[in-house]
Amino acid sequence: MSRRSARMSAYQLIFGYLFSKEIDEKSMSQILESEDIKPADSDYIRAVVYGVRDNYSQLMEIIADNSKNFKVDRIFRPDLAALLLACFEMKYMDDIPPAVSINEVIELVKAFSTENSSKFVNGVLKGVYNTLKEV
């Protein structure tokens, strides 16, 4: 499994989390028990998914602060899952350059969301990046 595939798996698990506010442990186990998963990818998926869950309120606050004139509870869920994933990586994973986090979730949004979502997500993440850079 590549990091891109691991990121997509984490994205899908975060998307599911948005509906129930619980991690789908069965789906997580199926992904982590896959034959082609590397230990580093397994560690990454766990870190991101549980990290988003554990820091959900703080991440939502960061997103809300950077989604100008748009209420966070109205953000399309595929976009919100991408925003949570990228925000977590940018804030807590120093080994991933912010530009990589942003570019990768933009590709996820292009694949799984609406035509205009990539512009919205990119704009929010630009603000998040600038905010986190100042800290």
Q: What is the pLDDT of residues 14-25, one digit of tens each?
A: 999 999 999 999
- Residue 67 backbone dihedrals phi, psi, to 5 degrees: -105, 80
Average pLDDT taken over every residue of the chain = 94
Whole-number pLDDT of residue 95: 95
Fill in the amino acid letter for 15.
Answer: F
The average pLDDT across 95-109 equals: 96
The token pair at 134 is 């100042």
The average pLDDT across 31-38 equals: 88
pLDDT band at 40 (very low <50, low <70, confident <90, very high): very high
Q: Report H helices in 21-116.
A: 25-32, 39-54, 56-66, 77-92, 98-112
pLDDT band at 67 (very low <50, low <70, confident <90, very high): very high
pTM score, whole prediction: 0.95
**Cα angle: 39, vertex 106, 40; to 5 degrees:** 5
